[in-house]
Amino acid sequence: MPAWRTAAVSTVVAVSVALPAVGDPAAGRRKAGPCATCHGIDGIAVNPEAPNIAGESPIYLERQLKAFRAGTRRHEQMSIVAASLSDQDIVDLVGWYASIRVSAEMPEP
């Protein structure tokens, strides 16, 4: 195999390992009921102490949910909620919240 082809295949494999699994946004929306209590069904937090997660990076969302589930990141409510999530639940929830489009409008000077 030519060196360039080996490098291309290695790059594709490395990138595919680094990307999160793509979940089903519709399934994630159905599973987001407990999340909506603090983060809102649209990912815009209704609890002033909770972060907005709409449109957040899927890599970030997946890592944080898995960290809460594993206990390497702790939060009173999130640790409890994440403990019951399967890998499929996580990718579906990530698919839902990452698919929400958020826009920003700069104020006039």
Domain ranges of the chain: 20-99
Tens-digit pLDDT profile for residues 30-71: 999 999 999 998 999 999 999 999 999 999 999 999 999 999
**Residue of 38, 67, 68, 69 whose CA lies nearest to 53:** 38
Task: Write the class of the CATH domain 20-99.
Answer: mainly alpha
pLDDT band at residue 7, thresholds of 50, 70 and 90?
low
The model's pTM is: 0.78
How far apart, in whole angstroms, are the C-alpha atoms of residue 62 and residue 19? 10
Q: How far is CA 54 from the centre of its chain?
A: 9
How far apart, in whole angstroms, are the C-alpha atoms of residue 59 and residue 18? 9
pLDDT at 91 over 80: yes
pLDDT band at residue 22, thresholds of 50, 70 and 90?
confident
